[in-house]
């Protein structure tokens, strides 16, 4: 190669990789390879893409050359064994093996190259701590708040996917570490492509997220209202901002810095998101949702547990929650004529959902649901259900006949 590997990677390969990774995080395709090939072909006219293509070709040539050399080494080993069946021949083979192992060891201990050159950060993956990047002792900042502010913030965070699963002590630390931020209407708070060092949680108002398309136009992809978090992708994956965010109206936000997020929230959030996404992919009724819609659903689902024999839903009650059963079994029963015995309609197991009729039709609960075993469910509030339902509404309405 005409340039040193590190310089080549930083100047030519990184720009296209950064854009590709950002697009992957935004769209989260099920099949990575076809998506990446299509994206690269569509952007092949850019200098960065051309550089990446050149790099791929060079790497392919180097791989072929390496395979040839390895084959020659194996042939030499056979010749040495055949001509020198003594100790010296074995020593030669051992020496060749030692050289190969030494080269492998050198590759293992080299620190990974930086994948980005803009700004003060140089990575598009989650931060990794090691010999060249030691983890530092951390003490969360404390910003004074009134009791009223703490109560308001706690209420908001309990509605947020990122924070609802925190242990009580960690929850308190996060509340202390957050700062209140008021933004006026039409304020562009985040710009796509910039480095991100904080996330925000909406207490009041509305913030819209926009993605810049190749033709320069912007498309609104998400509305963030009370309880929603945004800006977390840049912290979860240590990548540039994946979208721009602008205030639709005067909004009250709470800001959390990168260090506090990484040390308190990040590990729990990543583990929970991965577990929930894996579960949602197995829920039949969610097959119609794309990766982005499923990710949005992950952000707002709240866990709740019911003991064996517990009443999850009572027929006739006003319903404002939709349920997806994660673990356990439950029975659905219904009274068709007042004063007559209850009749079992069906049984529910992991992946089944219920409670949608009251939200779809605005009517009281059509049936009762009782836990046959301990049941772990994910719930969705009426407000969020109406906002995210989108492509599922027709499916849910069609499936509503199962209770008849």
Q: Could you please report the per-residue DSSP string of 45-82?
A: TSHHHHHHHHHHHHHHHHHHHHHHHHHHHHHHHHHHHH
The CA–CA distances, whole Å, from 186 to 10, 182, 223, 269 equal: 36, 12, 14, 30
Domain 147-274 class? Answer: mainly beta
Domain with CATH 2.60.120.10 in the chain: 147-274, 286-403
Tens of pLDDT along 117-164? 333 333 333 444 454 445 567 788 999 999 998 998 998 888 777 787
Tens of pLDDT along 219-256? 998 899 988 889 988 887 788 999 999 999 999 999 99
Q: Is the model more confident about 391 or about 226?
A: 226
Q: Could you please report the per-residue DSSP string of 131-191?
A: TTBPPPP---------HHHHHHHHHHHTTSHHHHTS-HHHHHHHHHH-EEEEE-TT-EEE-
Question: Using CA atoms, how far apart are residues 330 and 354, in angstroms rounded to an integer?
Answer: 11
Threshold 0.75, pTM exceeds: no
Report the binding-site residues for 3',5'-cyclic AMP: 232, 241, 356, 365
- Identify the CATH homologous superfamily for domain 286-403: Jelly Rolls (2.60.120.10)
Report the binding-site residues: 232, 241, 356, 365
pLDDT at 5: 63
């Amino acid at each position: 190669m005409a340039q040193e590997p590190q310089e080549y990677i930083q100047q030519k390969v990184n720009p296209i990789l950064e854009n590709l990774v950002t697009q992957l995080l935004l769209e989260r395709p099920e099949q990575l390879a076809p998506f990446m090939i299509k994206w690269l072909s569509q952007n092949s006219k850019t200098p960065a893409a051309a550089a990446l293509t050149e790099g791929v070709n060079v790497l392919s040539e180097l791989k072929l050359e390496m395979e040839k050399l390895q084959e020659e080494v194996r042939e030499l080993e056979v010749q040495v064994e055949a001509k020198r069946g003594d100790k010296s021949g074995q020593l030669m083979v051992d020496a060749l093996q030692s050289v190969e192992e030494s080269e492998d060891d050198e590759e293992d201990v080299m620190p990974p190259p930086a994948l980005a050159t803009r700004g003060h950060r140089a990575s598009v993956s989650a931060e990794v701590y090691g010999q060249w990047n030691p983890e530092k002792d951390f003490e969360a900042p404390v910003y004074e708040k009134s009791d009223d502010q703490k109560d308001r913030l706690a209420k908001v965070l309990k509605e947020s996917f990122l924070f609802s699963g925190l242990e009580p002590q960690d929850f308190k630390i996060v509340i202390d570490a957050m700062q209140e931020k008021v933004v006026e209407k039409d304020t562009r708070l985040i710009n796509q492509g910039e480095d991100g060092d904080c996330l925000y949680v909406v207490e009041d108002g509305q913030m819209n997220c926009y993605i810049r398309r190749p033709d320069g136009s912007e498309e609104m992809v998400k509305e963030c209202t009370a309880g929603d978090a945004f800006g977390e992708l840049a912290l979860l994956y240590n990548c540039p901002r994946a979208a721009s965010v602008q205030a639709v109206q005067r909004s009250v936000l709470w800001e959390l810095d990168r260090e506090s997020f990484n040390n308190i929230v990040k590990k729990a959030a990543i583990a929970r998101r991965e577990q929930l996404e894996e579960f949602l992919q197995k829920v039949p009724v969610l097959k119609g949702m794309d990766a982005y819609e499923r990710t949005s659903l992950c952000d707002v689902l709240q866990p709740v547990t019911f003991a064996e024999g517990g009443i999850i839903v009572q027929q006739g009650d006003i319903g404002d929650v939709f349920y997806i059963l994660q673990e356990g079994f439950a029975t659905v029963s219904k009274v068709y004529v007042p004063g007559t015995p209850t009749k079992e309609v069906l049984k529910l197991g992991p992946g089944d959902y219920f409670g949608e009729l009251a939200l779809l039709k605005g009517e009281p609960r059509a049936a009762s649901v009782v836990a046959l075993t301990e049941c772990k469910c994910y719930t969705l509030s009426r407000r969020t259900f109406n906002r995210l339902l989108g492509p599922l509404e027709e499916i849910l309405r069609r499936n509503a006949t199962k209770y008849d």
